[in-house]
Amino acid sequence: MRELLEAPSKTCGDTEAEEVIKAGQTIRFKPCWMDPGDESVTFVATDDESKGRVTVEARLGLPINPTQVVKTDWIENDFPLR
């Protein structure tokens, strides 16, 4: 019964990003946190990192692009932040 109550967790070498993510920076998710097709989408931080989380926008060319709040340990550490 306990297994049904606990959310499954992904292990992906979770580590905190070394740099603080700032609004306007392009980010890339670690492969284990990507959905199919994410590799062709540009994700941009819409606010500064706070408490290990950051809001990112998927730049899809829509009038209103989708946003989501993600944990910073889901983001590639070696990706050059712009």
Indicate the length of the chain as a whole number. 82
CB 23 within 8 A of CB 46: yes
pTM of the model: 0.74
Is the pLDDT reported for residue 7 higher than 50? Answer: no
Partnered with residue 43 across adjacent β-strands are: 27, 58
Q: What is the pLDDT of residue 1?
A: 44
Could you give the CA distance from residue 7 to residue 22 in angstroms, rounded to a whole number? 30
Residue 71's CB is within 10 A of a number of other CB atoms, namely 14
8 or 15: which leads in pLDDT: 15
Domain ranges of the chain: 18-74
For residue 27, give the H/E element and its range: strand 26-27
| Residue 46 scores a pLDDT above 90 | yes
Share of the chain above pLDDT 90, in %: 65
The answer to whether residue 58 scores a pLDDT higher than 90 is: yes
Mind listing the pLDDT tens digit for each residue in 15-35? 555 678 999 999 999 999 999
Between residues 31 and 80, the one the model is more confident about: 31
Residues whose CB falls within 8 Å of the CB of residue 53, separated by 6 or more in sequence, listed in order:
69, 70, 71, 72
